[in-house]
Amino acid sequence: MNRKAVSFLIIGFVLGILASTFAFSFLSHKKETDSNETKSLILKLAHVLDPSHPVHQAIEFMADRLAEKSGQTMTIEIFANGQLGSETESIEQLQRGALAMVKTSTAAMEGYIGEMALFGLPYLFRDEDHYWKTLNGEVGKELLNLGGEVGIKGLNYYESGSRSFYTIDKAILRPEDLAGKKIRVMRSKMAMDLISQLGGAPTPIPFGELYTALQQGMVDGAENNPPTLDTSRHYEVARHYSLDEHARIPDMVLISPKVWDSFTPQQQRWLREAADESVVFQRDLWGRKTLESLERVKAAGVKVYHPDKTPFQAMVEPLYRKYDDTKIGEYIKRIQSIK
């Protein structure tokens, strides 16, 4: 074989690898019919939750509705359980074009959109109704659209309930019960500030590594909502669940702005409608799953407590003062004024 033939073989091999990489990337294998008319977009979406989680089920619902609305010309391929990395790693993949969509907690967004930190403020929302009026109103819509400069577009919010403490050896009934306790938090400055303010030791650990960290005593506890405590099986190790309900941090679905802008107006409408319908589906499912999860962990031997929230609220008040005269402070005032 002469040198020119070898060169062509090498070039062909490299091009083959590049083609395969593109086929796995965020957007589309283009599938064409014999008449060369039909093109199908396959949108890759990653998240870290278990497939039994209500948020995953809502994403499946969105995928089904999008396929139906588009006549199977737009489909979402879901990678659950952190298959493609942590939330932060998935967001970075979206930014560089390796993923079309990501489901993430708004807490993980703080490093990209600073204003997202306000969701981590403890006891910001009066109740569930106030929370959803905020998400569905002007403030929520503004926050979805703040990420354009960093290659992120928010599509919708999902309910993620109230976050409460679960611990291995001792229940958290008063703020002083957190003194010196290593509490796993998301990689969020606000989440870490909250635990520090309450006297604990915030310990950022990827969610997928938390079960082992609890099991090995690397942390004394964590904080999350009932369905996540249930589906993650963390209750097998952490047997005390204190429903202080200190934060309501929504999940959100992100999409690459480049992908979104590449859609026709009809394709954008199909995806928007599918996403909105999945939010309604997920809110109903979440309510039922929360009650079921609490009953399930109780039946497994977990002790569930309802501590007085007043001393916790008083102790975290200085966190609000830090944001006076800032953009986050302006959002706090707007949220608190929502009736």
Q: Are residues 153 and 50 in the same domain?
A: yes
Q: Are residues 204 and 55 in the same domain?
A: no
DSSP three-state, residue 33: coil
pTM of full prediction above 0.85: no
Q: Are residues 87 and 180 in the same domain?
A: no
8 within some domain: no
Q: Are residues 146 and 276 in the same domain?
A: yes
Q: Are residues 261 and 146 in the same domain?
A: yes
Which pair of structure tokens corresponds to residue 16? 């083959």
Q: Are residues 149 and 257 in the same domain?
A: yes
DSSP state letter for 46:
E
Degrees, nearest 5: CA angle 331-333-334: 65
Over residues 95-129, the pLDDT tens digits come to 999 999 999 999 899 889 999 999 999 999 999 99
Which residues, other chains included, contact 339 with Cβ-Cβ below 8 Å and sequence gap of 6+? none
Question: How far does Cα 111 stand from its chain's mean position?
Answer: 14
Residue 210 amino acid letter: L
Which has the closest alpha carbon to 64: 76, 56, 52? 76
Measured from the Cβ of residue 279, the count of other Cβ atoms closer than 10 Å reads 21
Domain that holds residue 136: 24-159+250-291
Are 30 and 85 spatial neighbours (Cβ–Cβ below 8 Å)? no
**Measured distance CA(162)–CA(194) in Å, rounded:** 15
1 within some domain: no
- DSSP string over 107-122: GGGTTT-GGGGGGGST
Are 235 and 221 spatial neighbours (Cβ–Cβ below 8 Å)? no
CATH number of 54's domain? 3.40.190.170
- Using left for φ > 0, alpha for ψ between -120 and 50, and beta otherwise, residue 28 falls in left
Over residues 285-322, the pLDDT tens digits come to 999 999 999 999 999 999 999 999 999 999 999 999 99
**Measured distance CA(90)–CA(78) in Å, rounded:** 12
235 within some domain: yes
- Give, rounded to a whole angstrom, the gap between the first and last alpha carbons of the chain: 79
Domain count, the chain: 2
263 within some domain: yes
Q: Are residues 145 and 264 in the same domain?
A: yes
What confidence score (pLDDT) does residue 27 get? 55
φ/ψ (deg, to 5) at 172: -95, 100
What confidence score (pLDDT) does residue 187 get? 84
Q: Are residues 84 and 209 in the same domain?
A: no
Which pair of structure tokens corresponds to residue 118? 């306000």
For the chain, how are helix, strand and coil distributed in percent, rounded to 5?
50, 15, 35
Q: What is the pLDDT along the chain (339 residues), one digit of tens a residue?
A: 544 444 444 444 444 433 334 333 445 444 443 333 457 899 999 999 989 899 999 999 999 999 999 999 999 999 999 999 999 999 999 999 999 999 999 989 988 999 999 999 999 999 999 999 999 999 999 999 999 999 999 999 999 999 999 999 999 999 999 999 999 998 888 899 999 999 999 999 999 899 999 999 999 999 999 999 999 999 999 999 999 999 999 999 999 999 999 999 999 999 999 999 999 999 999 999 999 999 999 999 999 999 999 999 999 999 999 999 999 999 999 999 999
φ/ψ (deg, to 5) at 246: -75, -20
Q: Are residues 69 and 136 in the same domain?
A: yes
CA atoms within 13 A on the CB side of 157: 25
283 within some domain: yes
